[in-house]
Amino acid sequence: MVIHFPPIRSFVRREGRMTTAQRIALENLWPLYGVTLDALVQLQRENSLGKFFVEIGFGMGHSLLAMAEQFPTYQFLGIDIYRPGIGAVLQAIDANKLQNVRIVSEDAVDVLQRLNNRSVDGLLIFFPDPWPKRRHHKRRLIQSAFIHAVMQKLKVGGYLHIATDWKDYADHIAVVLNKFSDFKIFDEGDHKAQEVIPRALTKFELRGKKLGHAVYEFIRVLGDSSASP
């Protein structure tokens, strides 16, 4: 196995332009709604019975906030390192008095490792960075090792939902997912299946639509035969 050091990340930290309101929200609201890697254990302990959904790369938070508003009894954890987005989401959480969203600002690969096995009802990745140049493909988040980790964290019957507007990335995602036979394609007619939370329009989906891109969607449910932790 090749061990890369420093590890290859699926993002490049860019400060981006932050509004004053986002900066203030980051300073004042992070202690209320932000969690560190170490605090994830406690978050999961407190929510040990409730439904638990994780969105990786929430960006400006359109989908995360819509889900949290629609399902106030479920716990949502948003993961992203993009500070203007985190500021915007903190602002919205506070303004809408959402009690069921927490934010972690770390690499999702590291966050996943800290979550309890078989604890996640749904893991959502909407419009992940496509890294279109061939020499950057190794930076793509969706890789076999990552999917293997996702499968350990999902409850049996829990699901992974990915959407992308990049055909080439979609082809890659299909190849990776098809390696895992315990990951079943979601069947809407299966009434025993976990409900899939509808996906809200996001900033990057809108950007793709303006470019005339199609959207490729993957929903995979963890089957019974993966029940070992």
Ligand X SMILES: C[S@@+](CC[C@H](N)C(=O)[O-])C[C@H]1O[C@@H](n2cnc3c(N)ncnc32)[C@H](O)[C@@H]1O
Whether the link from the prior residue into 31 is cis, omega within 30° of 0, is no
Q: How far is the CB of 212 from ligand X (least distance, A)?
A: 17
Q: Which two tokens stand for residue 149?
A: 């980790």
Number of chain residues interacting with ligand X (CB under 6 A): 23
Does residue 74 touch ligand X according to CB under 6 A? no
The site map against ligand X for 126-145 (x = CB under 6 A) is xxxx-----------x----
Distance (Å, whole) CA 124 – CA 121: 10
Instruction: Name which of residues 195 to 214 contact ligand X (CB under 6 A).
Output: 202-205
Region binding ligand X by CB under 6 A among candidate stretches 23-31, 89-97, 104-112, 151-159: 104-112
Among 222, 154, 213, CA closest to 186: 222
Is residue 104 within 8 A of residue 90, CB to CB? The reply is no
Distances (CA, A) of 155 to 11, 205, 225: 27, 28, 12
Among candidate residues 38, 129, 165, 168, the one labeled active-site is 129
Tell me the C-alpha distance between 192 and 188, whole Å.
10
Position 107 contacts ligand X (CB under 6 A) = yes
Q: Give the chain's largest Cα–Cα span.
A: 50
Minimum distance from residue 99 beta carbon to ligand X (Å): 23
Q: Is 224 a catalytic residue?
A: no
Residues 12-41 that bind ligand X (CB under 6 A): none
Could you list the residues that contact ligand X (CB under 6 A)? 10-11, 56-59, 79-82, 85, 107-109, 126-129, 141, 202-205
